[in-house]
Amino acid sequence: MNKINVLTYLLFMVILPLPLFAYLDPGSGSMLFSAVIGIVATLFFVIKGVFFKIIDLPAYFSGVSRGKRAKHSIVFYCEGPQYWNIFLPVIKELSSRNVKCTYLSSKENDPGLSCGFPNVETKFIGEGNKAFFYLNTLSADVCIMTTPGLDVLQIKRSKGVKKYIHIPHSTGGGCSGYATYGTDYYDAVLTGGDSDIEFIRELEQVRGLPAKELVAIGCTYMDVLREKASKITTPASDRITILLSPTWGLHGLLRKYGDKVLTYLTNLNKYNIIVRPHPQGWISDKDLINELKNKFPDGEHLVWDSAPDGTESMKTADIMISDFSGIIFDFILLFEKPVLAFKGNYDKRGHDSMDIKEDPWVLQAVERTGISIEEKDVEDLESRINEKLEDKAEFVNHLEFIHNSMDKFPGESGARGADEITRIAGS
């Protein structure tokens, strides 16, 4: 790994005056939190070999020395319960084939730890430094993660792991929303569709990186959501239900237009409204959300949704209003319902898309599918909503493009993922 590149990136993150406002990936929270100590962390891992000989860190962190650590064939690592669905179809398929694998998690409430699948060993490895040490000294044929930034900050490539495989965790934007070096140090990426393959190949050319294995298997978590959605029943209503589901940060819909949009919609008094902020928004935009909740409280025709999973809200809604959040494509792919997306200023600084001339794929797709609107459209939202509801055929025309780009093989991701992982592990 190029230590100069890493140090440059970390210094950049420390001095950057503005926050980063793309889709929050699983690693972004820890990356932002660790920016200040990033250089120290990097130096720590450079000298860890010497340090471990002086101080018995294996015993301190895990109670198991590296020499006694069992070697695994296939290992999955998950940061917490919110990402279990990404691995579920693949692990379930491997189990059904009698392929043994190990599932590691940093959260005790991760449902994957109690999945009960035969041939699957599960283990809670703790959080923070305890988890990092375990992973950094792991022994396995392959390690599969959805966490970007391998070998950039805390999670380093272990010498005991032959291959690292990444599975993206978002449809819209996918890898283009990752912080810098998101997938650079993985050996393989199993994508949802063609958009991430095109993006990563361009990054490799720009940065002079060796070509990694890139295979489209379909979006794993979408297969889980499809099954869940099929079991959800929603109440009938004589009102159109609007789902307001934006991303977080300064360029997100809630901060830029939230008050204006909610005032307009509630004054019409003809819609059911579900407001579902991005999960990170409840943390990063907490004051803003509380302010809006006080002004627009839960009532008969307006509810705030903070559930971990937004599938029920999506199934209930007739139309979604968003920005550049990846959830718009979840909505389209799952339910084939229309979307209106406000244009936003996507800040590429600190992200992999910074090295690409074109706009991130999610912005290109929003424009191509004809769902983009501007601030001036707020005062005419009712007519724009009616237009989209009446012209659903427009979305049908774009479905093939969207599927090929981000969810290429609906219902097949588990089998295809298992095929590729066992192939790579065997090689």
The pLDDT tens digits of the residues spanning 66-105 come to 434 456 799 999 999 989 999 999 999 999 999 999 999 9
Q: What pLDDT sits at residue 327?
A: 84
Q: Considering only 15-24, 162-171, 304-313, which range has the smallest mean pLDDT? A: 15-24
* 142-200 confidence digits (pLDDT tens): 999 999 999 998 999 999 999 999 999 877 556 877 878 999 999 999 999 998 999 99
Q: How far apart are CA 363 and CA 376, in angstroms?
A: 19
pLDDT tens track for 337-356: 888 888 766 666 777 777 77
Q: Are 153 and 294 contained in the same domain?
A: no
Specify the pLDDT at position 148. 93
pLDDT at residue 307 in the model: 84
127-141, 212-226, 338-352: lowest mean pLDDT where?
A: 338-352
| Whether residues 401 and 414 fall in one domain | no
Rounded Cα distance, 177 and 170, in Å: 9
**Chain centre distance of CA 1:** 25
DSSP character at residue 64: -
Q: Are residues 158 and 28 in the same domain?
A: yes
325 & 387 share domain: yes
Instruction: State if pTM tops 0.85.
Output: no
The runs of H, that is alpha helices, within 218-316 are: 220-229, 253-268, 281-284, 286-295, 311-316
SS3 state at 336: coil
| Count: domains in the chain | 2
What average pLDDT does range 371-391 have in this prediction?
A: 86
Distance (Å, whole) CA 357 – CA 43 = 33
Q: For the chain, give the mean pLDDT.
A: 82
Gap between the Cα atoms of 398 and 400, Å rounded: 6
Which of the residue ranges 38-47, 194-203, 325-334 would you say has the lowest mean pLDDT?
Answer: 38-47
Q: What pLDDT does residue 271 have?
A: 97
Note whether 399 and 255 are same-domain residues.
yes
Residues 215 and 272 in one domain: no
The tens digit of pLDDT for each residue in 275-291 reads 999 888 888 899 999 99
For 212-240, give the DSSP string.
PEEEE---HHHHHHHHHHTT------SSE
Q: State whether 268 and 211 are in the same domain.
A: no
Same domain, 302 and 207: no
| Matching residue, tokens 């001036």 | 376
**340 and 327 within one domain:** yes
Give the whole-angstrom CA distance, residue 76 versus residue 60: 24
Q: What CATH number did the domain enclosing 232 receive? A: 3.40.50.2000
Burial class of residue 350 (count of CB atoms within 10 Å of its CB; 0-12, 13-18, 19+): buried
Could you tell me the CATH number of the domain that includes residue 26? 3.40.50
Largest separation between any pair of C-alpha atoms in the chain: 71
Average pLDDT over residues 37-55: 46
Regarding whether 240 and 148 lie in a shared domain, the answer is no
212 shares a domain with 76:
yes
Contact by Cβ (8 Å): 368, 332: no
**Which pLDDT band holds residue 109 (cuts at 50, 70, 90)?**
very high
pLDDT at residue 376, as a whole number:
86
Domain span at residue 30 reads 3-219+410-426
Q: Is the pLDDT of residue 59 over 80?
A: no
Shared-domain flag, residues 238 and 212: no
